[in-house]
Chains A and B, each alone.
Chain A
Amino acid sequence: MNWMQFVWAFVIGGAICVVGQLLIDIVRLTPAHTMSTLVVAGAIVDGLGLYEPFIKFAGAGATVPITSFGNSLVHGALAELKTSGPIGIITGIFEVTSAGISAAIIFSFLAALVCKPQG
């Protein structure tokens, strides 16, 4: 087992959160804008082909923060582009992320059946 992987996951994952906190506190973005900015940043990094090596290096430190969602969107679209042509850009966007999105919808529904929404 490579123990340094844990260290890097911790440091890199934390560093991404620090960037988010700085966007809120210094750039004064709203929480929603901060989240969107990180998603777009992840998408751009993957578009440049750099997110995969980043995940190999930092592991969960790169896959758990929201930037990885942007990576997954672009990654799915590019993979499908290769196999199905240009239409794949449309069909592939949610290829990788569909599990996460579907889970969010289904578990939200199940939670709403037994819990009282607070808002």
Chain B
Amino acid sequence: MLKGHQSWEFRNRPVIIGTATVVGPDEGEGPLGNEFDIVHGDLRIGQDSWEKAEKKLLEEASKLAIENAGLTNDRVHFYVGGDLMNQIISNTFAVRTLNIPYLGIFGACSTSMEGLALASLIVDSGFGRNVVAGTCSHNCTVEKQFRYPTEYGSQKPPTAQYTVTGAGVAVLSDRGEGPVVTGATIGRVVDMGLKDPFNMGAAMAPAAVDTIAAHFRDFNREPGYYDLIVTGDLASVGSEIARDLLVKHGLPMQQTKYNDCGLMIYDLKKQDVQAGGSGCGCSATVTYGHILKRMRRGELRRVLVVATGSLHSPLSYQQGESIPCIAHAVAIESGGEEQ
């Protein structure tokens, strides 16, 4: 049901009964390498194009997530997903083989939580019993589409981010064991006039803060309600800005821990990833691979994941337009206990 101005409270507490994460070599070498289900040593994943490789990541993650949930494709009612490619081809082409009714969405890198929120909404409303939310990104497809061809070897400034090669998929159900989705806050499009696609963290930080502030206002909560608040892919530059803006908004962030998936997935000192990770796969793999595992181990009880996205296109950037940004927040809590 609607909570406050722009949030949903899921009274029926949809359960995340299965997840899967599939990543590439750089993510496997990062600090969370052991948390992912499949780590590919080859960026091409045995495919003859980067786009096919990205599709393969999502295919593998989707199949594995449904298997981990103890389901078969015919028992999944809907698939909600998107990615960064034009016409979201990675999801569309991957779902082609799954034979599940499909809703394609685009929220750039916020797609992970946009998909999870919508899938939770479907399950919570009873309009579907088992629903899958999936997303993916591949370093070479995204760099090529949004920046420069990879073989051009163009320099990137230290504020730029490194697209995560990875797919993350979650299966939600109205019954079962696992962490539950208790609420979501849908973000507004925030555009502070920034135009530099090599500093998207700074562009996205205000959107993240807007959504976090709205979440606490709508649910009448304080940051201390959560053991951890993570943003999607603000990386080192954007997360510092977000920290400052949260304090300026008067939110007592000292009550909780704040981190960013773009900082967690790589070792910034050892790996050459500029400011940190980005891409749809960043928040999806860190949330489903690392954070949910910590919740299942009992190390975290309540987490707010705020996935951030830059909604520009290569064309809008070339025409000198600024970068509109968005963030969607999803509250995940340990299952097995009633409030």
In the complex, A117→B144 CA distance in Å?
Answer: 13
Q: Is the CB of B154 within 8 A of A119?
A: no
Q: Is the CB of B151 within 8 A of A31?
A: no
CB < 8 Å: which of A24, A28, A118 contacts B151? A118
CB < 8 Å: which of A25, A28, A31, A118 contacts B154? A31
Using C-beta atoms within 8 Å of the partner chain, give the interface range for chain A: under 10
The main secondary structure of chain B at its interface with chain A is loop
Given contacts A28-B196, A31-B155, is CB(A118)–CB(B150) below 8 Å? Answer: yes
Q: Is the CB of B155 within 8 A of A119?
A: no
B residues near A25, Cβ cutoff 8 Å: 157
Within 8 A of B (CB), among A70-119: 117-119
Within 8 A of A (CB), among B127-176: 140, 144, 148-152, 154-155, 157
In the complex, A118→B149 CA distance in Å?
Answer: 8
CB < 8 Å: which of B150, B157, B196 contacts A119? B150
Closest chain-B Cβ to A21's Cβ sits at a distance in Å of 8
Which residue in chain B gives the minimum CB-CB distance to A21?
A: B155
B residues near A118, Cβ cutoff 8 Å: 140, 149-151
Closest chain-A Cβ to B192's Cβ sits at a distance in Å of 17
In the complex, A24→B158 CA distance in Å?
Answer: 12
Q: Is the CB of A31 within 8 A of B148?
A: yes
In the complex, A24→B154 CA distance in Å?
Answer: 11
How many chain B residues touch A (Cβ–Cβ < 8 Å)?
11
Within 8 A of B (CB), among A3-41: 24-25, 28, 31
Which residue in chain B gives the minimum CB-CB distance to A28?
A: B196
B residues near A28, Cβ cutoff 8 Å: 196
In the complex, A6→B227 CA distance in Å?
Answer: 63
A residues near B154, Cβ cutoff 8 Å: 31
In the complex, A31→B155 CA distance in Å?
Answer: 8
In the complex, A119→B196 CA distance in Å?
Answer: 23
Given contacts A31-B148, A118-B150, is CB(A24)–CB(B196) below 8 Å? Answer: no
In the complex, A77→B155 CA distance in Å?
Answer: 33
Closest chain-B Cβ to A70's Cβ sits at a distance in Å of 21
A residues near B149, Cβ cutoff 8 Å: 118-119
A residues near B196, Cβ cutoff 8 Å: 28
Closest chain-A Cβ to B138's Cβ sits at a distance in Å of 13
B residues near A119, Cβ cutoff 8 Å: 140, 144, 149-152
Which residue in chain A gives the minimum CB-CB distance to B141?
A: A119
Q: Is the CB of B155 within 8 A of A117?
A: no
Which residue in chain A gives the minimum CB-CB distance to B158?
A: A25
Closest chain-A Cβ to B207's Cβ sits at a distance in Å of 23
Closest chain-B Cβ to A35's Cβ sits at a distance in Å of 10
A residues near B148, Cβ cutoff 8 Å: 31
In the complex, A24→B156 CA distance in Å?
Answer: 10
Closest chain-B Cβ to A66's Cβ sits at a distance in Å of 15
Closest chain-B Cβ to A112's Cβ sits at a distance in Å of 12
Question: Which residues of A line the B interface, CB within 8 A?
Answer: 24-25, 28, 31, 117-119
List 18 contacting pairs A-B, 8 Å CB cutoff, sorted by A.
A24-B155, A24-B157, A25-B157, A28-B196, A31-B148, A31-B152, A31-B154, A31-B155, A117-B151, A118-B140, A118-B149, A118-B150, A118-B151, A119-B140, A119-B144, A119-B149, A119-B150, A119-B152
Interface pairs A-B: 10 shortest CB-CB: A119-B149, A118-B151, A31-B154, A118-B150, A119-B151, A119-B144, A119-B150, A24-B155, A31-B155, A25-B157
